[in-house]
């Protein structure tokens, strides 16, 4: 196999160069935006780095020095030999029709997936779990399903209102207490939402585990010390819009003076639209989250947002949540569990 990397202004230029040098059967296996120029240059230009591959056939490979100026070559053709990009999009919709994992994915991911399938001579609608993992490892080398952030002593859940932080904490607490025999303690800072304290107290009483409420930032260290005998502390925070800078700062005031290591998980609902999700991921960075938890799988008909999230973070996704049942509706976030869940819900083989 011959693999070549191009740094170009746009995808059209990459496709033209690739077809001239590698032939019409070259396929895209990876693409990303990069900044070109010296590290100290504030006006670095944005370029596209595109990696293409073709099964080795030296007779068809041309010397790149002989390549013509892309402006002088035929435009609006892609690597599949279609006459225009509109035909390519029609082909994608036709090709990815029964694979529930990818049928509503964004165009960039579809492009990579179809290129991968062409390179490997695979049917996009009959991919095995191993095929999908191989695709993600090639197209998204540092994808968020590979690494995991193990629960530590202190674990904080942050995220918008209504994404399921409190229920997620209850699920994790129940699993750790019942299945792993851990001493678990719960702390809530969420005294804003009506019923939040009572909900957390109810979970603590059912599991017969310790529980504390923090009403002011200066109480935080004392409450943690009161639960120092626990193996795991799960800390619930108030939900707030990513646009509410004041409330985000309030949450930080509770956490900033903690000297022990903290694992902070951003809890996201995959039923949230793409732009809002990306905005949440960006604005919540001020709380220095280390990993993600994805909820509300039971409320969506596709996995579009899973892939949107994957393409915009290298941080690990720790759990998938798919219902209100405690502790059953939570899974370790990996591709095998995602595939099994999709098969169970959408009833396909």
Q: Which of 282, 234, 286, 293 is nearest to 256 (CA)?
A: 286
Which range scores top for mean pLDDT: 4-18, 198-212, 224-238? 224-238
pLDDT digits (tens, 9 = 90+) for 136-159: 888 887 778 877 888 899 999 999
* In the chain, alpha helices (H): 11-22, 85-95, 107-120, 129-139, 165-174, 196-207, 220-226, 245-255, 274-283, 304-310, 335-346
Residues 6+ apart with CB under 8 A from 132: 101, 335, 339
Cα 49–Cα 311–Cα 142 angle in degrees, nearest 5: 75
Tokens of 127: 């991919």
So what's the pLDDT on residue 81? 30
pLDDT digits (tens, 9 = 90+) for 107-132: 888 888 888 898 889 988 888 888 88
Report the percent of the chain where pLDDT is more than 90.
38
What does the alpha-carbon distance between residue 217 and residue 220 come to, in Å, rounded to a whole number? Answer: 6
So what's the pLDDT on residue 338? 85
pLDDT digits (tens, 9 = 90+) for 246-303: 999 999 999 999 989 999 999 999 999 999 999 999 999 999 999 999 999 999 888 8
Tokens of 254: 């509770």
Phi, psi of 263 (to 5 degrees): -95, 120
* 58 pLDDT above the threshold of 50: no
Whether the Cβ atoms of residue 280 and residue 306 lie closer than 8 Å to each other: no
So what's the pLDDT on residue 71? 37
**Cβ neighbour number for residue 138 with a 10 Å cutoff:** 17
Beta bridge partners of 154: 233, 262
**Residue with more model confidence, 88 or 101:** 101
So what's the pLDDT on residue 67? 44
Instruction: Delineate the domains of the chain, giving CATH numbers in brackets.
Output: 2-139 (no CATH), 154-346 (3.40.50.300)
Question: Which of these ranges, 51-60, 233-242, 268-277, has the smallest mean pLDDT?
Answer: 51-60
What does the alpha-carbon distance between residue 13 and residue 115 come to, in Å, rounded to a whole number? Answer: 18
């Amino acid at each position: 196999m011959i693999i070549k990397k191009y740094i170009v202004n746009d995808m059209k230029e990459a496709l033209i160069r690739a077809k001239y040098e590698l032939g019409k059967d070259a396929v895209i296996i990876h693409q990303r935006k990069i900044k070109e120029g010296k590290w100290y240059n504030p006006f670095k230009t944005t370029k596209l780095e595109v990696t293409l591959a073709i099964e080795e056939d030296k007779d068809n490979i041309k010397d790149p020095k002989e390549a013509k100026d892309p402006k002088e070559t035929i435009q609006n053709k892609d690597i599949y030999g279609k006459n225009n990009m509109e035909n390519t999009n029609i082909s994608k919709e036709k090709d990815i029709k029964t694979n529930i994992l990818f049928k509503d994915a964004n165009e960039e991911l579809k492009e990579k997936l179809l290129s991968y399938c062409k390179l490997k001579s695979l049917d996009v609608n009959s991919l095995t779990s191993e095929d999908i993992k191989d695709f993600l490892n090639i197209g998204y080398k540092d994808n968020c399903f590979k690494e995991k952030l193990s629960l530590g002593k202190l674990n904080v859940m942050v995220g918008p209102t209504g994404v399921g932080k409190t229920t997620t904490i209850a699920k994790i607490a129940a699993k750790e207490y019942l299945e792993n025999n851990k001493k678990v303690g719960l702390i809530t800072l969420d005294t804003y939402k009506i019923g939040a304290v009572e909900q957390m107290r109810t979970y603590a009483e059912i599991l017969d585990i310790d529980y504390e409420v923090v009403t002011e930032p200066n109480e935080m260290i004392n409450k943690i010390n009161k639960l120092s005998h626990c193996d795991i502390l799960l800390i619930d925070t108030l939900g707030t819009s990513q646009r509410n800078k004041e409330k985000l700062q309030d949450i930080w005031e509770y956490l900033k003076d903690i000297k022990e290591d903290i694992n902070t998980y951003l809890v996201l609902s995959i039923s949230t639209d793409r732009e809002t999700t990306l905005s949440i991921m960006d604005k919540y960075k001020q709380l220095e989250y280390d990993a993600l938890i994805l909820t509300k799988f039971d409320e969506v008909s596709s996995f579009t947002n899973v892939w949107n999230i994957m393409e915009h973070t290298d941080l690990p996704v720790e759990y998938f949540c798919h219902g209100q049942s405690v502790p059953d509706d939570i899974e370790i976030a990996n591709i095998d569990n995602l595939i099994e869940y999709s098969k169970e819900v959408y009833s396909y083989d």
